[in-house]
Amino acid sequence: MWKGGVITIDRNTFEEHYPKIYNYIYYRVLHRETAEDLTGEVFYKALAFRSSFDERKASYKTWLYTIARNIVVNHCRSRKNELLFDDFEELAANNDVEDIFGLNEDFRRLHELLKTLPEREREVIALRYWGELSYKEIAARTGLNVNSIGPIINRSIVSLRKLWQ
**Cα distance between residue 124 and residue 133, in whole Å:** 9
**Cα distance between residue 28 and residue 20, in whole Å:** 13
Per-run averaged pLDDT (10 residues), the chain, 165 residues: 54 83 85 89 87 82 88 78 43 47 66 85 86 87 91 88 84
User: For residue 63, what pLDDT is reported?
Assistant: 87
**Cα distance between residue 55 and residue 58, in whole Å:** 5
User: For residue 145, what pLDDT is reported?
Assistant: 94
User: For residue 101, what pLDDT is reported?
Assistant: 47
Of 20, 23, 22, 24, the C-alpha closest to 123 is: 24
User: For residue 100, what pLDDT is reported?
Assistant: 43
Q: Which domains does the chain have, with CATH numbers?
A: 1-84 (1.10.1740.10), 116-165 (1.10.10.10)
Contact call for residues 64 and 42 (beta carbons, < 8 A): yes
User: For residue 80, what pLDDT is reported?
Assistant: 53
| Sequence letter at residue 25 | I
User: For residue 37, what pLDDT is reported?
Assistant: 92
